[in-house]
Structure 1
């Protein structure tokens, strides 16, 4: 009887051990899954749309999302990547401050088999799972086409660029100039009278525009490469008392602040990029890869459209 009891106990222990192994056989499913989201600058209100989309989609799929703010300082992101890796994240979604600062840290992540998706801007490193981005070149061209229809007689243009060297700065500017700059389009009736840098931020844009308003008394158009800078441009125009000049202010993003200014008649139009789609889609990319090894396209361009009213 005692022998039988021992045999039954041994069988029971084997069964329990097997169940324990089976429940842990899903690997990381029993552990808390984490995604790191590294944002270049949450001081830009429009980037909150991207952050919220990643957080909401991540939570829906069972991930904790660790959010890092680069505060418009690309040098912060390498240590933020390292911190995320130390915390055992399953994947990294990064909106890079620039194309090179975080490259080495992201190489470490890729070496550790942590998938990396870059959003809005690219990064100079091989092995990234996907680069998911607004079609900025097309967006810049759409701005130029809109302006040609708005002002077929042409006019004098200020071009306000974002952070120099970033893909959005190059591509939005390149697309816009290909339509508006007479040196690139012989049919253009416009004149680029000045180019300045606003670093995709409101205060630098406002200061730069104040200087330009003091320098030029014949500005017809300002194209700011994002809506945050466009807000700074409008503020500078108001401070200078130039509201009645009829300056056409164009932004890029589709931010709430831009629509508010459009409604007030202080801004004309914005090129809309779908950050909500980009954010949620980036989470789906890493989730599909982690679950099934499914890889998305290496580069995905998201469409842009012009809008002068809220959807």
Structure 2
């Protein structure tokens, strides 16, 4: 009889434990989960940001739920809704654009869930903090670096990212403020072509192939991220023009950029510190959830030029 009672008691304990576990998972009541919404994990450099958030989150005791927007802004609103249904305690978002997720994030903010945006802003009030690379300064650094390499000027291609996003506007704006004669009367450069590569390799490669066919003389190409710079290098090689000394400049500090630099197929990249941005975003969320501490609402992170890891 005692054995029967023990078995029944043990079964009841398992049932209660399972019920409690399911309730916690559904409600997130323990405050132990963070949703990380990434714009495009197809871009290898964004893995640095993801890994930094996951690593720091786990160090502080959070489960990090990662969503991939696959470079499609229409995906992120439903991903925010999914995170809210799962009862996350905070949201860190790398927005695909500045407007598509605004309503969904407003719902989160209205519920008291802290939202931190990284790399790009969102057009919504109440965001806890916005951490971003100083893209304007980065673009200016690229322009000044190119001036140093080609003091007598030259013919330049400008490969832009996703149009309308803050990185596209600011990196391009900073670069053109130095290089474009229409914006800097002292510039000796000529912008002979501008194309849109959507921050992706294949579109940048295709656009660069077209530009190579139309221009016999190209001195330098600025790609607004390293993924596009890889596509540009591939287009130059395919066209058989890798011995012309065309300067390729990227932006990010991604592994594939350093691999190309080491091979002599790319020259330099403007480095943004996604390790710092990712871990700091988690720190902001953690301090707010535990202590109610509000960080600065806008944090700019410096950029530097690098031709070696």
Partner of 2:70: 71
Instruction: Compute the displacement of 1:31 (Å).
Output: 2.2
Partner of 1:174: 173
- Residue 229 of structure 1 pairs with residue 255 of structure 2: no
Instruction: Provide the rounded CA distance (Å) in 2 between the counterparts of 1:263 and 1:284.
Output: 35
Instruction: Provide the rounded CA distance (Å) in 1 between the counterparts of 2:125 and 2:182.
Output: 36
SS of aligned partner of 1:244: coil
Contact kept, 8 Å, 2:28 with 2:87, in 1: the verdict is no
Partner of 1:141: 140
Instruction: Compute the displacement of 1:244 (Å).
Output: 1.1
Partner of 1:33: 32
Q: Deviations over 1:133-164 (max 9, x none)?
A: 00000000000010000110100000000000
Instruction: Provide the rounded CA distance (Å) in 2 between the counterparts of 1:211 and 1:257.
Output: 23
Instruction: Provide the rounded CA distance (Å) in 2 between the counterparts of 1:298 and 1:164.
Output: 25
- Residue 55 of structure 1 pairs with residue 40 of structure 2: no
Instruction: Provide the rounded CA distance (Å) in 2 between the counterparts of 1:263 and 1:29.
Output: 47
The number of aligned residues is 283
Partner of 1:17: none
Partner of 1:42: 41
SS of aligned partner of 2:33: strand
Partner of 1:101: 100
The CA RMSD over aligned residues, in Å, is 1.1
Deviation >2 Å, runs of 4+: 28-32
Structure 1 length-normalised TM: 0.90
Structure 2, unaligned runs of 5 or more: 1-26
Instruction: Provide the rounded CA distance (Å) in 2 between the counterparts of 1:221 and 1:299.
Output: 33
Contact kept, 8 Å, 1:32 with 1:64, in 2: the verdict is no
Contact kept, 8 Å, 2:118 with 2:131, in 1: the verdict is yes
Contact kept, 8 Å, 1:252 with 1:270, in 2: the verdict is yes
Structure 1, unaligned runs of 5 or more: 1-27
